[in-house]
Amino acid sequence: MVAFGKKLKERQIQEWQGYYINYKLMKKRVKQYAQQIQLETLDRRHVLKDFSRMLDNQIEKTVLFLLEQQGLLASRIAKLGEEHEIIQQEPRLSRIAELREAYRAVGLELLKLLFFVEVNAVGLRKILKKFEKRLGYKFTDYYVKTRANHPYSQLQQVFKHVGVGAVVGALSRNLHELQKYEESQGSFVSIYDQPTLPLQDPVIDSIRAAVDRLTNSTNFLNFLGKHALIVDEELSAPVDEHVDDQKYHFMSLSLNLANTFLYMVNTYIIVPTADDYSMSLGAAPTVCGIVIGAMAVAQVFSSVYFSAWSNKSYFRPLVFSSIVLFLGNAMYAMAYDLNSIWVLLFGRLLCGFGSARAVNRRYISDCVPAKIRMQASAGFVSASALGMACGPALAGLLQTEFRIFNITFNQDTLPGWVMTIAWLLYLAWLSITFKEPSRGIEENHIPHQSNTENSALEKGLRHPLLTSSENKVDEDADQDNDDSEEAPKESRQPANSIGAAYRLLTPSVKVQLLIYFMLKYAMEILLSESSVVTTYYFNWTTSTVSVFLACLGLTVLPVNIVVGSYISNMFEDRQILMASEVMVFIGILFSFNVIIPYSEPQYVCSGLLMFVSAEVLEGVNLSLLSRVMSSRLSRGTYNGGLLSTEAGTLARVIADGTITVAGYVGVSRLLNITLIPSFLICAISIIATCYTYNSLY
């Protein structure tokens, strides 16, 4: 594997070489600092000041060149605009075609400029990490904190485009108008006077993709997509799109999203009646914690084997999942007539062993084209949220009782029978319409690039330096030995065990996983004990509990729309993260039964505050997790999605176990006892976030 410094030099555009950050010089300076500090000829303060000054100069050089090039592009667009005006006066189709190609040529130059910015951004992140590794100082925290919002610092301009949006807009508008002009056979039609589809042009699409990666935009779809921890690559080569299009099958994607929806319905449809069902089988009402949590216990193990299985197939794991869920729900429903709590629990365990969410995530990540991957990721989260709301709502509608062939159908068993039928229908649909994607496209299928493209740009498109995975792989692979241009192949390989994956976790990643654990624990406590708590304090019926839980689930999408479209554009992710944690903490605090009598408004308002804040926290948490996690955890069986799933599932298991254990103390103390761990874990996560706050960017 070629080291980053050599790769950086290969990807540079020759005529712009003098304007890139001098990575080699800075790497040599870091090595000198390390030697001088070891010999005690330099102190820490001098090193920080000297290296900061060097970074400031390098960044300023890059940004000033960027602005100069943007000015040249703007001048070219202005001249083309004059030709555009002439064509409107004297229309000729041949000249229109020439003008469109001229605009596309400007677009290719802009794409080169965006690659220039990306290369410098990665080089900057790389040298900051190398400095910390060699000298042991938390320099990144200091440098980013002091430069991020300073009026004279140009640090942010390296990571965010400067006025590129105006250039992209001008190119898109003119190309679109010329296209409309050709379609209307010479009559001018303004694009502003009629609704129209976005311009479909490969150059513009590539530019927009690059701009999105630079700005790390957090619109609604991106915000929802990050919930799924399916992170779009920062740069997709044309060959990647070619491969994706061959793998993509809309009906297969729909089946994966349907699987996600049905599984979430299956998880929450029993929550309103689990305590009732437990008592009808002779157990305590708080055994509902084990009944609900049994599914999560099995999911801890199923996530691993489904993740591994998806390396070879997507169809067979989904078939297996459907069969296991069919059997599990049938056993859950039959436990009533068999009068066996063990059959009930085994049925729920089987349902957990059928959790194919790892396959659903993997399918979206591997088989959906990059241009719609974020929409598919948002669909995954939306399907989960809708299933979470529909589950309790459906349970509230199944308030009836009858018998057929000595089989009892009532509010306790009907959720199981309904899901049994649902999974049988899903299995039939899956068998008929799912298409197994092809694997392993040969290299000779790669289309040749246009001869008009710059050779350095062509290298960047074929082997993008700055994909989210590859730039982080480079960081992982770059060794402390500065004299070596080669790094061990193993340093680029995905983790092959849970232990190997754990060793790749930095403090920032560990804190984000702790936060994820905390929010899942708090949410599970609220949802799983809701039926027992509300029956004890307020005498709520099953229908009332179902409505309450359904209303909580229905808040997910509206809240994410507000946060993803507005709040995330006004505040940094880490600021939203901290605020959400504090709000969850307040929600937990106000949920305690310290005021007698405990009132419905107190329970509903505190629960709503905690749940909504946890939902906001989840999206921001996974967004940050996708940035700070090593790219070696983005591939293979033991990937970042699996780790976050395991953390969340483990939290649910412990929360449900806590409810059952606390039930032995008495239902009157159940609420406060189960809230104490949530309170403590939330407090610890806030402290840990403060500790790693400056590394979350």
* pLDDT tens sequence across 341-363: 999 999 999 999 988 888 888 88
The number of residues making up the chain comes to 697
Tell whether the model's pLDDT for residue 236 goes beyond 60. Answer: no
Tell whether the model's pLDDT for residue 417 goes beyond 90. Answer: yes
Residues β-bridged to residue 2 = 486
| Predicted pLDDT of residue 135 | 76
| Predicted pLDDT of residue 665 | 84
| pLDDT band at residue 521 using 50, 70 and 90 as cut-offs | very high
Q: Tens digits of per-residue pLDDT, 642-696?
A: 777 788 888 888 988 898 888 888 888 888 999 999 999 999 999 999 888 877 6
Residues β-bridged to residue 404 = 407
| Predicted pLDDT of residue 327 | 94
- Write a three-state SS string for 608-632: HHHHHHHHHHHHHHHHHHHHHCCHH
| Predicted pLDDT of residue 367 | 82
| Predicted pLDDT of residue 605 | 93
* Average pLDDT, integer, range 363-373: 75
Query: Rounded to an integer, what distance in angstroms lies between the CA atom of residue 551 and that of residue 393?
Result: 9
Of 336-340, 349-353, 559-563, the least confident: 559-563
> 3-class SS at 446?
coil
| Predicted pLDDT of residue 681 | 94
Tell whether the model's pLDDT for residue 581 goes beyond 70. Answer: yes
Query: Rounded to an integer, what distance in angstroms lies between the CA atom of residue 585 and that of residue 613?
Result: 9
Most confident of 106-115, 177-186, 236-245: 106-115
* Average pLDDT, integer, range 217-229: 54
* Average pLDDT, integer, range 255-263: 91
Q: Identify the residue with better confidence: 474 or 340.
A: 340
Q: Identify the residue with better confidence: 639 or 264.
A: 264
Query: Rounded to an integer, what distance in angstroms lies between the CA atom of residue 321 and that of residue 601?
Result: 41
Q: Tens digits of per-residue pLDDT, 31-53?
A: 888 888 877 777 777 888 888 88
| Predicted pLDDT of residue 68 | 87
Closest C-alpha to 377, from 359, 364, 362? 364
| pLDDT band at residue 229 using 50, 70 and 90 as cut-offs | low
Tell whether the model's pLDDT for residue 24 goes beyond 80. Answer: yes
Within 8 A by CB and 6+ apart from 21, the residues are 58, 59, 61, 62, 120, 123, 124, 127
| Predicted pLDDT of residue 222 | 58
Q: Identify the residue with better confidence: 464 or 33.
A: 33
* Average pLDDT, integer, range 375-387: 77
| pLDDT band at residue 261 using 50, 70 and 90 as cut-offs | very high
Query: Rounded to an integer, what distance in angstroms lies between the CA atom of residue 697 and that of residue 692?
Result: 10
| pLDDT band at residue 227 using 50, 70 and 90 as cut-offs | low
Q: Identify the residue with better confidence: 246 or 9.
A: 9
Write down the mean pLDDT value for the chain.
77
CB atoms within 10 A of CB 175: 19
Q: Tens digits of per-residue pLDDT, 44-82?
A: 778 888 888 888 898 888 888 888 888 888 888 888 888
**516 CA to centre of own chain:** 13
pTM more than 0.75 = no
> 3-class SS at 605?
helix
The amino acid that residue 134 corresponds to is: R
* Percent of the chain predicted with pLDDT > 70: 74
Q: Identify the residue with better confidence: 478 or 145.
A: 145
Do you find a cis peptide bond into 369, omega within 30 degrees of 0?
A: no
Query: Rounded to an integer, what distance in angstroms lies between the CA atom of residue 534 and that of residue 638?
Result: 40
Q: From residue 39, how far is each of 32, 35, 43, 47, 101 by CA, in Å?
A: 11, 6, 10, 14, 60
Q: Identify the residue with better confidence: 200 or 446.
A: 200
| Predicted pLDDT of residue 402 | 87
| Predicted pLDDT of residue 332 | 93
Copy the structure tokens of residue 299.
């999911």
| Predicted pLDDT of residue 664 | 83
Query: Rounded to an integer, what distance in angstroms lies between the CA atom of residue 358 and that of residue 625?
Result: 17
Closest C-alpha to 345, from 335, 354, 337? 335
548, 604 Cβ separation under 8 angstroms: yes
| Predicted pLDDT of residue 495 | 65
Tell whether the model's pLDDT for residue 302 goes beyond 60. Answer: yes
* Percent of the chain predicted with pLDDT > 90: 16
Tell whether the model's pLDDT for residue 275 goes beyond 50. Answer: yes
Query: Rounded to an integer, what distance in angstroms lies between the CA atom of residue 583 and that of residue 184?
Result: 56
| Predicted pLDDT of residue 186 | 53
| Predicted pLDDT of residue 487 | 44
DSSP 8-state symbol, 565: I
260, 317 Cβ separation under 8 angstroms: no
Tell whether the model's pLDDT for residue 297 goes beyond 80. Answer: yes
Of 138-152, 209-223, 442-456, the least confident: 442-456
Tell whether the model's pLDDT for residue 590 goes beyond 70. Answer: yes
Query: Rounded to an integer, what distance in angstroms lies between the CA atom of residue 637 and that of residue 307?
Result: 5
The amino acid that residue 238 corresponds to is: P
* Average pLDDT, integer, range 255-261: 91
Phi, psi of 404 (to 5 degrees): -135, 120
Q: Identify the residue with better confidence: 196 or 121.
A: 121
| Predicted pLDDT of residue 416 | 92
| Predicted pLDDT of residue 129 | 79
Q: Tell me the longest C-alpha to C-alpha distance in the chain.
A: 90
Tell whether the model's pLDDT for residue 567 goes beyond 50. Answer: yes
- Locate tokens 């029993």: which residue? 270
